[in-house]
Chain A
Amino acid sequence: MKKIVIVGGGTGGTILANNLARRLAPELKASEVRITLLSASDKHMYQPGLLYVAFGRMSSQDLYQDQASLLAPSIVFHVDPVKTFDMDNNRVVTESGVSHDYDYLVICTGSRSNPESVPGLAEYANHVYTVEAAEQTFKSLQQFEGGRIVIVTGVPHKCPMVPLELTFMMHDYFRDRGILDKVEFYYTYPIGRLHSLENVGKWAQGEFDQMGINYETLFNVKEIDGQKRQVHSEEGSIVDYDLLISVPPHNGMPVILENALGAGGWIPTNPATLQMEGREKVFVLGDTTNIPISKAGSTAHYEAEALGENLAALIRQGSMVRIYDGKVFCFIEAGKDRATYASFDYKNPPQPQPPTQMIHWFKLAYNKLYWNSVRGLL
């Protein structure tokens, strides 16, 4: 029997497991293949929903579904996180001490925000990367009566659109509250434009100029002086704030660091085959890779589809049949009721269109359709 072990039941792991269950249905039925998914939680969180929690437009309870309910019945699922990767012996060992050997291993344990890595950020800045933080951000926005809001972005971070989306959504939130004239926005960004995607940066600059949003580029947050309410940048700027909104820097999961699989918790991964460097039978998906690509659910989704096809082909004919072309598709909320999107791959940059209400509705629909998407029904 061929054994595929998938570590991590988030966006990438769930899509891959269901994709394989569909492709390898006859082999699963004949007990020639087993797919085991090991994860750290019995709940699956729709993480993009956290952005809406921060504006009171979704409640935290709306973000979760039972992980088991999302999986094809032929998938063996255990809530038992992996502690040790013993790749020389083709096995992983879980926290409860169970050893799982494999023919193919897929690692997709995601990433986590790490505000603690910047002095003062965890204490003084709001963010939206955990349920508690998103709920707290909503409280801070509700209590804010005017002043200067500074937006800072750490590197690397998950979901490249969040810095812009937060800014646009705050703009509309305070407009609706009737106090926009009392709020000054000061958007900062690590590189020399407003977004890593050049065309998105150009588009955002036009919008910001029209909305009167101020900005400073080449700004990497170094520390926060909470007493003086000031942000210091690596580049030497000091900026005053009344409310600080952050996109914290991220790292891979502790288990990746503890097993020395990659600096920062990012596993060296071949961008085309998704194989871990130096390991033929180990693949990596989603946020956990070190591929210079957006850490986004859509990246994990497209990677999982390519890998599903390849793993099925490896099982059936012993070779891979396609490469991952770097496809990513991200919606961009441009306020409370307008959105656009960026679609790109390794070779082709995006050409964002002017935002429309229709695209915003697509995004709202996707917030619900996500569950069908991870089930493999879309």
Chain B
Amino acid sequence: MGTPKQVDARNSFCPGPLMELIAAMKMAEVGDELEILSSDKGSANDIPEWINKVGHALLESYEEAGIYHIRVRKTK
């Protein structure tokens, strides 16, 4: 598996990072890894909550220079 596909949702209020991730996950194949970038603090909670609720795999979540990076693998 190569570098995860990046979804750049920085500076997005509407539709916002989680909606962008949901759209990208729909287009991804099972097993694909995606990394979402967000400048919105709320997403650091919302996105993992959604990933866990649906049952995808949360691989990593960290903040660097005000940008939240969340890595996820599509499992179904």
Residue positions of A touching B, CB distance < 8 A:
155-156, 160, 190-192, 196-198, 218, 220, 234-236, 249, 263-264, 271, 292-294, 326, 328, 342, 344, 346-347, 349-350
Q: For residue B8, which residues in chain A have a CB less than 8 angstroms away from its CB?
A: 292
CA distance A111 to B22 in the complex (A): 18
Judging by beta carbons under 8 Å apart, are B11 and A160 in contact?
no
Chain A: CB-nearest residue to B15: A196
CA distance A349 to B16 in the complex (A): 11
11 contacts between A and B (CB under 8 A): A155-B23, A191-B18, A191-B19, A196-B16, A198-B42, A218-B53, A293-B14, A293-B15, A294-B14, A294-B15, A349-B13
Judging by beta carbons under 8 Å apart, are B16 and A156 in contact?
no
Judging by beta carbons under 8 Å apart, are B13 and A197 in contact?
yes
Q: For residue A196, which residues in chain B have a CB less than 8 angstroms away from its CB?
A: 13-16, 19
Please tell me if B60 contacts chain A, counting CB pairs below 8 Å.
no
Chain A: CB-nearest residue to B53: A235
CA distance A264 to B42 in the complex (A): 27
A364 to chain B, nearest CB (A): 23
CA distance A228 to B45 in the complex (A): 35
B44 to chain A, nearest CB (A): 12
Judging by beta carbons under 8 Å apart, are B27 and A263 in contact?
yes
Supplied contacts A292-B15, A293-B15, 4 more A-B pairs, CB within 8 Å: A156-B23, A191-B46, A235-B50, A292-B8
Judging by beta carbons under 8 Å apart, are A156 and B19 in contact?
yes
Q: For residue A235, which residues in chain B have a CB less than 8 angstroms away from its CB?
A: 50, 53-54
CA distance A160 to B53 in the complex (A): 24
Count B interface residues, CB 8 Å.
22
Main DSSP-derived SS at the A contact region: loop
Judging by beta carbons under 8 Å apart, are A292 and B42 in contact?
no
Judging by beta carbons under 8 Å apart, are A190 and B19 in contact?
yes
A220 to chain B, nearest CB (A): 6
Main DSSP-derived SS at the B contact region: helix
Judging by beta carbons under 8 Å apart, are A156 and B15 in contact?
yes
Contact of B22 among A197, A220, A271 (CB under 8 A): A220
- Binary contact track B43-59/A, C-beta < 8 Å → 1, others 0: 00010011001100000
Please tell me if B70 contacts chain A, counting CB pairs below 8 Å.
no
Q: For residue B13, which residues in chain A have a CB less than 8 angstroms away from its CB?
A: 196-198, 344, 349-350
Q: For residue B53, which residues in chain A have a CB less than 8 angstroms away from its CB?
A: 218, 235-236
Most chain A CB within a 10 A radius of its CB, from B15, B17, B20: B15
Chain A: CB-nearest residue to B28: A263
Q: For residue B19, which residues in chain A have a CB less than 8 angstroms away from its CB?
A: 155-156, 190-191, 196
Judging by beta carbons under 8 Å apart, are B15 and A160 in contact?
yes
Judging by beta carbons under 8 Å apart, are A264 and B23 in contact?
yes
Please tell me if B9 contacts chain A, counting CB pairs below 8 Å.
yes
Q: For residue B50, which residues in chain A have a CB less than 8 angstroms away from its CB?
A: 191-192, 218, 235
Q: For residue A191, which residues in chain B have a CB less than 8 angstroms away from its CB?
A: 16, 18-19, 22, 46, 50
Chain A: CB-nearest residue to B50: A218
- 10 closest A-B pairs by beta carbon, nearest first, are A292-B12, A346-B11, A196-B16, A191-B18, A196-B14, A156-B23, A292-B9, A155-B22, A294-B14, A196-B15
Most chain A CB within a 10 A radius of its CB, from B14, B19, B54: B14
Chain B: CB-nearest residue to A294: B14
Q: For residue A249, which residues in chain B have a CB less than 8 angstroms away from its CB?
A: 26
Judging by beta carbons under 8 Å apart, are A155 and B26 in contact?
yes
